[in-house]
Amino acid sequence: MELTRTGDLWLFRGSSAADRAIRVTTNSPVNHVGMAIVLDDLPPLLWHAELGRSLPDVWSGTHQRGVQLHDLADAVQVWAHRYGQRAWLRQLDRPVTPAMEDAVLRTVAKLDGTPFPSTARLAGRWVGGRLPKFGHDPRDVGLETAYCAEVVALTYEAMGLLPAGRRPSWYDPGSFWSGDDLALQTGARLGGEIEVDVPPQAAA
């Protein structure tokens, strides 16, 4: 938690049927990705999309499904202990500028509360993202739904780290795993995965 900075990625892999379905659907080694947001004197936050509503959304102050902003420490505890997920951190190799932070906050304001798609829609969207004439781009359908990789991709695009023009649905959680060789702009790079040893909840 002390090391993570805005733009760092948090990746998760679980063993539930839903976790496996997401990995099979998207041909990915992990089933979830989120992005750290660390601003001023606020605690580190996790920006992501999920089906659950276990934690209050920091932006809206409510419990909701879909695109959410959570206290990072609480979110990692929930994903590790309640959802049975392994966690990894990938660090962005350069500082985030104030302009990039502003872009992050505009993206949070735009996407927070967007519903998470069904598994069937997730599969269709991911396939459609690779077939230019098919599928749904959240920007083209009024941001009706969004899944975790789309949220990170749209935020990275707003920060200038990913090129504009590619459908957000082209990305899946595995796109942000080191084996996929994600090409960032402006010479930025992501470090390798650091596996996170999450302490028992009572000791956190």
Look at residue 202 and tell me if it is in a domain.
no
- Inside any domain, residue 119: yes
Number of structural domains in the chain: 1
Q: Is residue 139 part of a domain?
A: yes
Is residue 46 situated within a structural domain? yes
Task: Record the pTM.
Answer: 0.86
Residue at 4 is within a domain: no
State which residues form the domain around 74.
Answer: 9-196
CB-based burial label for 141 (10 Å; 0-12, 13-18, 19+): exposed
Residue 3 lies in a domain: no
- CATH label of the domain that carries residue 61: 3.90.1720
Please identify which residue in the block is written with the tokens 């099979």: 24
**Residue 204: inside a domain:** no
What is the edge-to-edge ordering of all strands in the sheet holding 9-13?
66-71, 45-50, 32-37, 9-13, 86-90, 194-196
Tens digit of each residue's pLDDT, the chain (204 residues): 899 999 999 999 998 887 888 788 777 899 999 999 999 889 999 999 998 899 999 999 999 999 999 999 999 999 999 999 999 999 999 899 999 999 999 999 999 999 987 554 544 444 454 445 444 444 443 457 888 999 999 999 999 999 988 888 889 999 999 987 788 998 999 999 999 999 887 544
